[in-house]
Amino acid sequence: MDGFLNLNKPQNFTSHDCVAKLRKILKTKKIGHGGTLDPLATGVLPIAIGKATRLLQFLPTQKAYQATIRFGIVTTTDDLEGDIISKKSATDLTLEKIIPYLQEFIGEIEQYPPAYSAIKKDGKKLYELARKGEIIDIPKRLVNITNIEVLSWQSGEFPELVLNIDCGSGTYIRSIARDLGEKLGKGATLASLNRTLSCGMRLENSYNFEDIIQGKETDNFSLINLDYPLQNLPSIYLGEDDTKRWNQGQKIVTEDEYSGEFYRTYNNLSEFMGISELKIDDTIKLFKPKVVLSS
């Protein structure tokens, strides 16, 4: 069983919980995921099964989220899972006041990750240090946010803003909620999060656990082909002799013009074999096998 699965992660499941449950459903041990989601969050959790686990690092990194931000409340974790630090009415807050600040989050920005996160500092995860009450000097990180769109606004004592956020890998939506609240002087926390795009997989094409169980029972279940999510990479096709050499781990010389680093690699029958890496040795261009799926 080799391929990818677009799982719609339910709330209150960790990414590790999902992998453990799928191992039982699919009766296979070699399963990994392509990007952690917090237990509170729902939505796309890319799953790699069998040989697909070796391809996770090559999947596209762009992500998209639907996020609900609640103003007037500040928590220890920057979402509703944490303890409340402060709570004050934000009835005077309007969408018109918020919109100008959203532009400050678009582009390449510096962001402080939440204290309760899986990022490691000195070999320990931040949430492990935070739970011990240790004071943590959290390093900033550069993240890229390409678009923020307002989906809805609900006024009230603790008003809520729903946003669609397109961003690169490593972006913390909890940090955006926290920082937006700080800029407005009201405080804010993330009330809910639904990932709609990850590793090229979209929410509308995802499956929940019930779908997968039913599909297995009716023999109406199949995985996504190994090369399908890798359309972000260019491709090369080898002749019969080069196919044999490549599968034996040998480098393939090319005189054609190529500019990328990694390539989907197909044999003389147009069958997907794995990933090649382009190397330039003096003036000679070589395709070096990076991931050989037959091995």
| Catalytically annotated residues | 38
Distance, in Å, from the CA atom of 200 to the CA atom of 229, rounded to the nearest integer, reads: 6
Distance, in Å, from the CA atom of 190 to the CA atom of 171, rounded to the nearest integer, reads: 14
Q: Measure the N-to-C terminal CA separation of the chain; round to a whole number of Å.
A: 15
Distance, in Å, from the CA atom of 129 to the CA atom of 109, rounded to the nearest integer, reads: 26
DSSP state of 114: P
Residue 136 has phi, psi (to 5 degrees) of -115, 130
CB of 222 within 8 A of CB of 252?
A: no
Q: Angle of helix 173-184 relative to helix 95-102, nearest 10 degrees? A: 120
Distance, in Å, from the CA atom of 277 to the CA atom of 262, rounded to the nearest integer, reads: 5
Give the H or E element holding residue 86.
Answer: strand 84-87
CA neighbor of 241 nearest in space, from 263, 266, 267, 262 = 267
CA neighbor of 58 nearest in space, from 207, 272, 270, 222 = 272
Distance, in Å, from the CA atom of 226 to the CA atom of 213, rounded to the nearest integer, reads: 21
